[in-house]
Chain A
Amino acid sequence: MNNTRNQPSARKFWSWFMPVGRQAGSWAFALNRITAIGLTFYLFLHLGVLSLLAQGPGAYDDFLVLTENPFIKLGELAVVAAAILHGLNGIRIILTSFGVGVTRQKQLFYGFMLISVLVILIFTARMY
Chain B
Amino acid sequence: MSQSTLSSSASGPRPGENTWIWLIKIATGPLLVIVLLLHFIANHYFGSMSSGLMTYEDVIKYFQNPIIPAIEILFLITVVTHSLIGLRGIILDMNPSRNTLKIVTWLLTILGVSSVVYGIWLALTIASKGS
Contact = CB atoms under 8 A, between A and B. Distances in A.
Contacts of B84: 40
Interface in B74-91: 76, 79-80, 83-84, 86-87, 90
Interface string A51-92: 101101100110010011000000000000001000100110
Contacts of A97: 26
Given A13-B93, A39-B83, A54-B125, A44 B59 contact: no
B126 interface: yes
Given A87-B33, A94-B29, A36 B51 contact: no
A60 B32 CA distance: 26
Contacts of A54: 122, 125-126
B118 interface: yes
Contacts of A44: 115
B36 interface: yes
Q: Is the interface of A mostly helix, strand, loop or mixed?
A: helix
A60 B51 CA distance: 16
Interface residues of B, number: 31
Q: 6 shortest A-B CB distances, which residue pairs?
A: A10-B94, A57-B56, A60-B56, A90-B29, A40-B83, A87-B33
27 contacts: A10-B95, A36-B87, A37-B87, A37-B90, A40-B86, A43-B79, A43-B83, A44-B115, A47-B76, A47-B115, A50-B122, A53-B56, A53-B59, A53-B125, A54-B126, A57-B55, A57-B56, A60-B56, A61-B56, A64-B53, A64-B55, A67-B51, A67-B53, A83-B36, A87-B32, A87-B36, A91-B29
Given A64-B49, A83-B36, 18 more contacts: A10-B94, A10-B96, A37-B90, A40-B86, A51-B122, A53-B125, A57-B56, A60-B55, A61-B56, A64-B55, A67-B53, A87-B29, A87-B32, A90-B29, A91-B29, A91-B33, A93-B26, A94-B30
Interface of A: 8, 10, 13, 33, 36-37, 39-40, 43-44, 47, 50-51, 53-54, 56-57, 60-61, 64, 67-68, 83, 87, 90-91, 93-94, 97
Interface of B: 26, 29-30, 32-33, 36, 49, 51, 53, 55-57, 59, 76, 79-80, 83-84, 86-87, 90, 93-96, 115, 118-119, 122, 125-126
